[in-house]
Amino acid sequence: MRAEVAAETQRLKTYLAPTVQMQGLFLEDIEIKMAGAHRTVHVVVDLPEDQSGGVSLDAISVAAQAVSDAMDNDPHDDGRPYSLEVSSPGVSRPLTEPRHWRRNVGRMVSVSASRGDDMMGRIVSVDDDGVTLIPEIPVKKGMKAKQGDPVHLPFANIRKGRVEVEFAHLEDDPAGEDAPDETTAEEA
């Protein structure tokens, strides 16, 4: 049964990739879960690696309709009923491929290294061999974070990487030290 699901997953990846690509998206993954004769097909789509940001709900909706139409017209489908789920990877997705790292240039990540210390830092560039980060140097609570010199980590030395959720970049924070003094209506 497991081999059959793996073969069907690969077949659907090959079959649906052009449909997803025509929607301006990238087919990240497909997962099939079986429950008796019923199957749930979870399709994960992402923006192409040359685009930044996340996949909008409208884009997911359009892609879901296109994928549903393609699956309904699949000449090699065995006719078993299915439920279709289409989503984006989300920020908790592990960074496992070079394209994941390229899509997140400029974002803060935590990296578990197979050799050396784990670190947190901002991705500044990605090449064929690895990732260049500006590491965050731990400081006392309440102090402004310090940054180290850029570090290049080869992909072969990265055991695990994950995007860290940030609510505001320091340079985007209007309440930061460089922000002009503003008077609120209550203070006036």
**What pLDDT, on a 0 to 100 scale, did the predictor assign at position 182?**
42
At residue 20, φ and ψ (nearest 5 deg) are -65, -40
Average pLDDT per block of 10 residues along the chain, 188 residues long = 90 97 95 91 92 87 97 92 92 86 90 87 94 89 84 92 77 45 40
The answer to whether residues 149 and 159 touch, using CB atoms and an 8 Å cutoff, is no
- Please tell me the class of the 98-166 domain: mainly beta
**What pLDDT, on a 0 to 100 scale, did the predictor assign at position 69?**
97
Alpha helix (H) ranges present in 41-131? 57-72, 98-103
**H or E, element range at 34:** strand 26-35
Task: Report how far residue 77's alpha carbon sits from residue 39's, in angstroms, rounded to the nearest whole number.
Answer: 12
**What pLDDT, on a 0 to 100 scale, did the predictor assign at position 186?**
40
Which CATH code for domain 2-87?
3.30.300.70
Sort strands 82-87 and 38-46 into parallel, antiparallel or unpaired.
Answer: parallel
Q: Are 2-87 and 98-166 the same fold in CATH? A: no
Predicted TM-score (pTM) of this structure: 0.70
Q: Where are the domains of the chain?
A: 2-87, 98-166
